[in-house]
Structure formats: C-alpha cells, structure tokens
C-alpha cells in the first residue's frame, strides 16, 4: 500500500496512519513536499499568455505616471507556464479545508452552504463587469438591486433605514458606534463609555477603542444572559451605547431583552445589535422590535457568501429614525420617475463616507438572490432548522457530558458551548488536542477557547444546511476521540496526522512571524 493511500485510510477511520500509536508510519505526499510560493517556480522566458498586438494609439508613459513614481527596473514577477500556474493553485487549494469537502462547524461564523445559483447570478456580465466608476444613470439595475436589498434588510431587522456601505461585520460595528457617538454629540452630550458583555465578539472592544471610546465590561448571569444588576450599576449618563448580540456567543437568547433595552434607553444611551448571530432569529423575531436602535448584518454569514481568509465580506447597517440623520453618504434614493441615484447633498449631520464606493457589490447580489429564493417563510425555516440542528447535536453530545459538559444547561439557539475542563483534568487532553484530532476524522474543528469566560471552551455551530447524518458522524467522531484518549491520550496530543502539515508551533508563529521571503536570484539560482 502506498504512503498516500495508507494515510487516507487513517483519515477515514480516525486512526493515526499505520493503525496504532501516536506516530505515523508514513507521511503523505503533501507532508513530504515543502509548500513553495509562485515566486520560487518557473524559469526566465516562460509564458502562460501572449497578449495580442496593441490596437490602440501608444501613449507616452510620462503622461500617465510621472517618472518619480515609476520603477527603476521591471518587477520581479514569476515567469511560469500555464500548467505550472494551474497545478500551483490547485495544489494550494488541496492544502486547505473547505466547506465544499467537509463539515465546518465554527461557532459564531455561520459557515453554511453557498448555493451555486447565487454564484451564477453574481457572475452575470451586468454584475461582474460593472465598473465602480460607472455613472449612476448607466447603472440603474445595480442601484435598484441595492435599493431593494436595503428594503428587505429593513424588514428583516425591523428598522426603517439601511446603508450597505460597511465592508464587513467589524466595519458595521465601527459604523454603529460612530453613529451613536454622532447622535450624542449632536445633542450636546459628552459620553465616553460603551458597555459590552463579557460574552461579546472579540471585535467589539477593538471597535470601541477605534471609535475613541472606553470599553466597560458587563457580567454574565448564571443562565448565560446579561447580568441585570451589573448592567444597572454601570449604566449611567456617561454611557453612549450597549453593544449586544442576541442570541449571544453562548448560544443563549436573552429573555430579558426588553428590560435591558429599558435600562439602556433610561439613561439616554443607544442599543446596538451585533448581527453575527442573526442566523438564529431571521423571520422569527426582529432586533428593532426588541428595542435596538442600530443593527449590523453579516451578509457573508447569514445570507450565504463564500467567506473566510480575509473576505469578501459585507456588513450593512440598519438604524432607527432618531439615528437616520447621521447615516453614511452617499445614499441610494428612488426618484419620482422611478429611477435611482446616489445622493450626498441634503444630509448635513451625516458622518460621511466610510469606504470607497458603495460596498462589495457581489455580496449584495448573492444576498438578494438568497432572500428572493427563500422568501419570508424560507428565512424563518432556515433559522428554525439551524436552531433544531444545534439542539440535536448538543443532545447527541450529552452522551459524553462527563468530559464535555454544556457550559449552560438550557435550550440553545443556533450554536452552543461545551467546556473541555473535565476532559483536560481526567484525560489529560486539551480542547486544542480534541480540535486537532477532529481533522483526522475529516471534520474542521469548531471554535476553541471562545467565549473566554468558559474554561477550555468549544463553540459549535452546525447551521441549517447540514444533514442529520453529518451531525451524527461528527458526534460519533468526538465520542471516538474521547474513548481513544481513555486508552492513550498521547494520540490526541500529537494530532493531526493526515493533514498536509502536522501540528504547527502556533505560539512561535505569532511571536516570530515570517512576513518577508527572499526571492531567488535573477538568474534563477
């Protein structure tokens, strides 16, 4: 049997390559081969494409770009053939785990299937080839789609005004905090603090700092919601807003949300909704109806976008009437004759533009296609199925609750948190070890060590697009890993075995990152 087929067999049944023990008997082909960048491949003179002869008048380069901004010598670009390019990127793709090949249960990330219909629609020439500098008069279809998407998001959130401008969820957060600050400053108020629960997403505190405000943490109650007594103690007239996710990152819906809204509004502050977990409530309830003033959406999570690895993302924001005067510009408006335009004038209190152009348009097309495909009933069904899948998987994993008990014993929403503290004490393996070993069973690990208030946390979100068979297989894999650790904990501590690279020195990589690579000499040596 070849080394490659041997290790693949290990991946299927979860055993280290070779069958027993923690050490593999053979490396995979990718483990043996060092990954190389495209700059390390090819040879001088090699070409993948020969452009046609120039069929437009030549222009003096000095008229396009002054000499002082031009290179003194040609860029050191790779010279490779087409087969080399294709093989390079195909092999790189094989080194990554992807949603098309396996279960990807990252908590709070909503890594669900992206329908191929949406990709075809976004790839239509009128969408994919629309130039960002196109005059609004010649981009009426795009503007109408964006305007209709704004109306749909307004209905889903329960808030009347929407801007598509923010580039991602964290950018939507920043927009929300800046809008809240502008609202208070316009009223002549000096408010310097933003309340964030200790279950908040990690970007929330960073967003507050970027907006020039102070983070004040609010504690969690025994049932996983906001500690109302702590909130009352910290909510005063120095507070600009409360940033809240509901359901929160524990997968818990806070049933005290109306009382929370009353406390926050009672001191004149605004209530901001982090929409990362909207996948649990779409079509069932609306943040605006809960009392929120500002909501951001993650189109790349809740509304099926390929995401991860830096993008693309989209984080539109919806606001109430009292926040609307400060909303970003330009705004998409529908004129009396039914046409559409972008308007910057007439909004003197606006915080202005937060990015170039109007956002990641391909994300808008996919999200609008998703909303139109499902409709109101379909969105509700997606949320209900996501909640059902999460509760089903949590119930399946209660069989191993001795080692991985739920952080909070209550019905969860679309995700849930387990604690690996007993597993660490009794079996000698950490949450990280369990996560690495799951890779050998063909599953991407869930989110680990977050939220921070849960010891050895494991945050799991199965989403609505996974089948019961997949959830059963995932639960069986965790049970098998724990049973294996009862016999030999070293197996999990040395995992993974079947991935393109073995366990990495993640602490070393964070402390001593290699961000530059020396290029080979010009002669190829």
Average pLDDT score over the chain: 91
Residue where a domain stops, chosen among 322, 341, 373: 373
Please compute the mean of the pLDDT values over residues 293-320 and round it to a whole number: 88
138 shares its domain with 169: yes
Residues 99 and 101: their CA atoms lie apart, in Å, by 5
Task: Tell me, yes or no, whether 417 lies in a domain.
Answer: yes
212 shares its domain with 343: yes
Please compute the mean of the pLDDT values over residues 416-430 and round it to a whole number: 97
Residues 6+ apart with CB under 8 A from 72: none
pLDDT band, very low/low/confident/very high, at 305 (cuts 50, 70, 90)? confident
Give the H or E element holding residue 216: strand 214-218
Find tokens 């529908």 and name the residue.
Answer: 334
Residues 369 and 305: their CA atoms lie apart, in Å, by 11
332 shares its domain with 475: no
Q: Is the pLDDT confidence value at 2 over 70? A: no
Task: Tell me, yes or no, whether 194 lies in a domain.
Answer: yes
Q: What is the pLDDT of residue 11?
A: 41
Beta pairing partners, 214 = 193
Domains of the chain: total: 2
Q: Is the pLDDT confidence value at 359 over 60? A: yes
Nearest residue to 397 via CA among 471, 336, 315? 471
Residues 465 and 448: their CA atoms lie apart, in Å, by 22
Task: Tell me, yes or no, whether 176 lies in a domain.
Answer: yes
416 shares its domain with 335: no
Q: What does residue 51 show for φ and ψ, rounded to 5 degrees?
A: -65, 150
Least confident of 48-57, 264-273, 348-357, 514-523: 514-523
Please compute the mean of the pLDDT values over residues 305-329 and round it to a whole number: 89
Least confident of 14-23, 467-476, 515-524: 14-23
Residues 6+ apart with CB under 8 A from 128: 122, 362
Q: Is the pLDDT confidence value at 64 over 90? A: no
Please classify residue 12 by burial: count the beta carbons closer than 10 Å to its beta carbon, then call 0-12 exposed, 13-18 middle and 19+ buried: exposed
Task: Tell me, yes or no, whether 287 lies in a domain.
Answer: yes
Residues 461 and 467: their CA atoms lie apart, in Å, by 13
369 shares its domain with 381: no
CB 304 within 8 A of CB 298: no
Task: Tell me, yes or no, whether 285 lies in a domain.
Answer: yes
| Phi-psi category of residue 7: left, alpha or beta, with phi > 0 → left and psi -120 to 50 → alpha | alpha
Residues 107 and 252: their CA atoms lie apart, in Å, by 13
130 shares its domain with 249: yes
Please provide the size of the chain in residues: 525
- Per residue in 74-102, pLDDT tens? 888 899 999 999 999 999 888 888 888 89
Find tokens 């014993």 and name the residue.
Answer: 409
Residue 224 is part of which domain span?
119-373
Percent of the chain at pLDDT exceeding 70: 93
329 shares its domain with 434: no
Q: What is the pLDDT of residue 35?
A: 82
Task: Tell me, yes or no, whether 431 lies in a domain.
Answer: yes
CATH code for the domain in which residue 303 is found: 3.40.640.10
465 shares its domain with 362: no
CATH code for the domain in which residue 381 is found: 3.90.1150.10
CB 59 within 8 A of CB 36: no
CB 233 within 8 A of CB 205: no
SS3 407: coil
Total Cβ atoms within 10 A of residue 332: 23
SS3 197: strand
Token reading at 81: 């053939």
Token reading at 243: 């940033």
Residue where a domain stops, chosen among 348, 373, 398: 373
299 shares its domain with 392: no
Task: Tell me, yes or no, whether 288 lies in a domain.
Answer: yes
Task: Tell me, yes or no, whether 1 lies in a domain.
Answer: no
- Per residue in 179-210, pLDDT tens? 999 999 999 999 999 999 988 888 899 999 99
Residues 6+ apart with CB under 8 A from 436: 445, 492, 495, 496, 503
152 shares its domain with 241: yes
Q: What is the pLDDT of residue 524?
A: 56
Please compute the mean of the pLDDT values over residues 291-315 and round it to a whole number: 87
Beta pairing, strands 161-163 & 340-343: unpaired
Residues 294 and 248: their CA atoms lie apart, in Å, by 16
How does DSSP assign 47-75, residue by residue? -S--PPPP-S----HHHHS-GGGS-SS--
- Per residue in 235-262, pLDDT tens? 999 999 999 999 999 999 999 999 999 9
- Per residue in 6-62, pLDDT tens? 333 334 455 554 444 444 456 777 888 888 889 889 998 999 988 899 899 988 888
pLDDT band, very low/low/confident/very high, at 356 (cuts 50, 70, 90)? confident
Residue where a domain stops, chosen among 341, 373, 405: 373
362 shares its domain with 389: no
- Per residue in 131-190, pLDDT tens? 989 999 999 999 999 999 999 999 999 999 999 999 988 999 999 999 999 999 999 999
Residues 316 and 296: their CA atoms lie apart, in Å, by 6
Beta pairing, strands 457-460 & 193-197: unpaired
199 shares its domain with 347: yes
């Amino acid at each position: 049997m070849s080394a490659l087929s041997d290790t693949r067999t290990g991946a299927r049944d979860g055993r280290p390559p070779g069958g027993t023990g923690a050490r593999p008997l053979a490396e995979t082909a990718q483990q043996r081969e060092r990954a190389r960048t495209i700059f390390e491949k090819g040879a001088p003179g090699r070409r993948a494409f020969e452009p046609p002869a120039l069929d437009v008048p030549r222009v003096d380069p000095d008229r396009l770009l002054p000499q002082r901004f031009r290179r003194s010598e040609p860029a050191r670009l790779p010279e490779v053939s087409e087969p080399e390019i294709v093989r390079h990127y195909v092999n790189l793709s094989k080194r990554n785990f992807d949603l098309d090949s396996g279960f990807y249960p990252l908590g709070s990330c909503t890594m669900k299937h992206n329908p191929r219909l949406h990709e075809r629609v976004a790839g239509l020439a009128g969408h994919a080839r629309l130039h960002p500098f196109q005059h609004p008069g010649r981009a009426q279809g795009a503007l109408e789609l964006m305007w209709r998407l704004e109306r749909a998001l307004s209905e889903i959130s329960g808030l009347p005004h929407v801007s598509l401008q923010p580039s991602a969820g964290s950018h939507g957060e920043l927009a929300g905090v800046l809008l809240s600050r502008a609202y208070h400053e316009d009223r002549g108020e000096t408010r310097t603090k933003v309340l964030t629960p200790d279950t908040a997403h990690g970007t929330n505190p960073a967003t507050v700092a970027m907006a020039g405000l102070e983070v004040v943490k609010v504690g969690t109650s025994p049932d996983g919601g906001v500690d109302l007594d702590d909130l009352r103690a910290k909510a005063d007239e120095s507070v600009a807003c409360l940033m809240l996710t509901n359901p929160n990152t524990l997968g818990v819906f806070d049933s005290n949300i109306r009382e929370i809204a009353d406390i926050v509004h009672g001191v004149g502050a605004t209530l901001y909704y982090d929409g990362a977990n909207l996948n649990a409530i779409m079509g069932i309830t609306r943040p605006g109806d809960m009392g929120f003033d500002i909501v951001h959406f993650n189109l790349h999570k809740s509304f099926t976008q390929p995401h991860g690895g830096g993008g693309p993302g989209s984080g539109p924001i919806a606001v109430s009437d009292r926040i609307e005067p400060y909303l970003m510009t330009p705004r998409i408006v529908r004129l009396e004759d039914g046409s559409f335009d972008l308007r910057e004038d007439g909004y003197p209190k606006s915080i202005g533009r937060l990015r170039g152009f109007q956002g990641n348009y391909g994300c808008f097309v996919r999200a609008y296609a998703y909303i139109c495909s499902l409709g109101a009933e379909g969105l509700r069904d997606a949320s209900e199925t996501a909640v059902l899948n999460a509760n089903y998987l949590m119930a399946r994993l209660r069989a191993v609750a001795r080692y991985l008990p739920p952080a909070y014993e209550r019905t969860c929403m679309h995700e849930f948190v387990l604690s690996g503290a007993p597993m660490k004490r009794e079996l000698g393996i950490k949450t990280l070890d369990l996560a690495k070993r799951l890779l050998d069973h063909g599953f991407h690990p869930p989110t680990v060590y977050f939220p921070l208030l849960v010891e050895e946390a494991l945050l799991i979100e199965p989403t609505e697009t996974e089948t019961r068979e997949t959830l059963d297989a995932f639960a069986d894999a965790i049970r098998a890993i724990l049973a294996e650790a009862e016999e030999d904990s070293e197996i999990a501590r040395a995992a993974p075995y079947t991935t393109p690279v073995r366990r990495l020195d993640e602490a070393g990589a964070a402390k001593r990152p290699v961000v530059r690579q020396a290029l080979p000499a010009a002669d190829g040596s």
